[in-house]
Amino acid sequence: MQIQDLPYPDPGVPDARSGPRFLWWLGRNQLGGQFKALAWGLLHFVAVSAQPFCVGLAVEAVVDRSGTRLALTGGLMVLCGAATAVGDTFLHRAAVTNWITAAARVQQLLARKASQLGSALTRRVAAGEVVSVSTGDVEKIGWFVEAVSRFTAAALTVLVVCVGLVVYQPALGVVVAVGLPVVAFAALPLLPPATRRADLQREKAGRATELASDTVAGLRVLRGIGGEDLFLDRYRSASQEVRHAAVRSARMWSLISAVQVLLPGLLLITVVCYGVHLAREGRISVGELVTVYSSVMVLAYPLRHFEEIAMAYSFSRPSARRAARVLSLERVTDERVTDIGGSRAAETPSGDLYDPATGLLAPAARLTAVVCGDPDAAGRLAERLGGHPPEDSPSVLLGGVPLNELPLDSARTAVLVQDKDPVLLSGSLRELLDVPASGGVDTGTALAAAQCGDVLDALVQGSLDADDPLDARLTERGRSLSGGQRQRLALARSLITDPEVLVLDEPTSAVDSHTEARIAEGLREVRAGRTTVVFTSSPLLLDRADRVVLVHEGEAVAVGAHRELLRREPRYRAVVTRETEEEAGLDELGALDGLEELEVIEREEIEETA
């Protein structure tokens, strides 16, 4: 795989049982790139390590006054220099390719997992952790995968040089062969504490990232309630903790680096002192002493890769563990399902939508409104209806077919869930509305039903070079728009998709009552003949629903029309009218008078809207 061939047609199925297993899986899937980097690394390191032997031969040729041998040695040095340059160039190219392709594979795996789980992902893993894994962690994982081949080449080179020195000059070669393993592995006792400090730093950095992500996402609200300074102080404190942890980690790694400098220096001094002693006794020549000395000097270069692989592993291990945790999450499926995609054929069922866990029934081709007193419970129920039930809960049935037995594409074609905080990606409005659709609802109809006229005008005014509203640009997450404008654009996007079942979670919570009434009428008209479920407590939407279901403490406890439930169901009335306990204790006559007054107000709003 080359960089220009990215993305992968299929990134594969990862081994996400643990961080080390995931790293091993990544390495096995890049064997071609690993062997290529290993080959170029061996060429580079061996060529570099051969230079001292050439220098020793040249010194001996000068001592022996042999011009022929000196010329041959010079040619050999030129050849080694060329091999060093070529090997270094292509090693760097192969290493960068391995790094980027490994990181890209992880990013593709994370993106695929996010698309499979949808909104369920952030309910099971913190959003900040997902961001941390898909940005900084993928780079560290790619670093380790890339560094393995260079470390292997360096280790093989050290082994070859040690054997060569023992054969070339046994007296000094044995000293080097014994000393190099000590130098290479002396830092091993320091790695566990260094790794623990690095893990602590990563953990604190992840928490700071989560806090920053949450703060930025809620910045508008924080400014509105005056809490911006409080959260900034919290982030400042978290960032200082990260700094302290980073300093402690850096101290340990600086100690390891110092050991990697000190011990080779001591080995070099030992070799020189012992070599001079042997040379004075005439047991070795000056050229042999220069060769061994130069070899020890040059070996400091491949030995640095021992430190690098230790750092790469210690930094990538927690990153791989976090990535494996995200990638190990699975779509909740029935026990009869044999694979992640589902066991049934790729079909789009139709019929009534039924949730066995709560008893909620949404008849086909009708508009059903669901009232929950707990907004979080409403969000979890909407997620269930979209085919993402908890692990200990049965699947929702569509036309009698469990959604979790369907392939993921078929399940999402059948049921579309729009949560209460829909995401608008940056780009043009045309790109935002370019979604998979049945073709039954055109863009103009959807925008009109969602009452997006003022939104289109605002987008045109804010774009200097866009005459067509569909060419107007949206900022990231639609931050230049109000909450109500974002909700209406998201609703229009959902209407264009025109799924068999559309589930809307508080689609008009940030919209004024007059616009909300018009949206309710437009929603009924566009979704005629289709199944629609709306989670809301708005009387304007509830009054236009064909069927209203009250879900209380995880169970559907009442079903009927909006006005009927207002009269006969106190729990429903408490949620919809925001009735207090004191008001709930009024006699039945007073309650009915209040309901009649509410009906008059609603009727006036409807007439004013019309």
The pLDDT tens digits for 218-263 are: 555 556 565 567 777 877 888 888 899 889 988 988 888 888 888 8
> Which is higher by pLDDT, 307 or 278?
278
Question: Following DSSP, what letter does each residue of 167-224 receive, concatenated?
Answer: HH-HHHHHHHHHHHHHHHHTTGGGHHHHHHHHHHHHHHHHHHHHHHHHHHHTHHHHHH
Of 177-181, 206-210, 512-516, give the range with the top mean pLDDT.
512-516
Nearest to 197 by CA among 237, 159, 233, 246: 246
CB 118 within 8 A of CB 384: no
Give the pLDDT confidence of 50-74 residue by residue, as tens digits: 888 888 888 888 888 888 888 998 9
Of 203-212, 272-281, 351-360, 408-417, give the range with the top mean pLDDT.
351-360
The C-alpha R_g of the chain, in whole angstroms, comes to 35
Contacts of 212 (CB under 8 A, 6+ apart): 128, 235
The percent of residues in the chain predicted with pLDDT above 70, rounded, is 87
Q: How many helices (H) and strands (E) does the chain have?
A: 23, 12
CB 117 within 8 A of CB 326: no
Give the pLDDT confidence of 5-21 residue by residue, as tens digits: 888 888 999 999 998 99
pLDDT of res. 224: 58
Both structure tokens of 80: 């080694």
Residue range 416-439: mean pLDDT, rounded = 86
Contacts of 66 (CB under 8 A, 6+ apart): none
pLDDT of res. 59: 86
The percent of residues in the chain predicted with pLDDT above 90, rounded, is 32
What single letter denotes the amino acid at residue 387?
G
Q: CA geometry: angle at 381 spanning 352 and 432, to 5°? A: 85
Residue 192's CB is within 10 A of a number of other CB atoms, namely 10
Contacts of 80 (CB under 8 A, 6+ apart): 47, 48, 50, 51, 54
pLDDT of res. 58: 87
Residue range 108-123: mean pLDDT, rounded = 80
Q: What is the mean pLDDT of the chain?
A: 83
Q: Which of 212-216, 221-225, 297-301, 498-502 has the lowest mean pLDDT?
A: 221-225
The whole-angstrom separation of Cα 148 and Cα 43 is: 16
pLDDT of res. 596: 52
Distances (CA, A) of 320 to 25, 58, 152, 437, 492: 11, 49, 21, 37, 40
pLDDT of res. 214: 62
Tell me: pLDDT of 337 over 60. no
Q: Which of 381-385, 575-579, 595-599 has the lowest mean pLDDT?
A: 595-599
pTM above 0.75, yes or no: no
Nearest to 496 by CA among 565, 446, 547, 422: 446
Strand pairing partners for 8?
Answer: none
Both structure tokens of 450: 């969602």
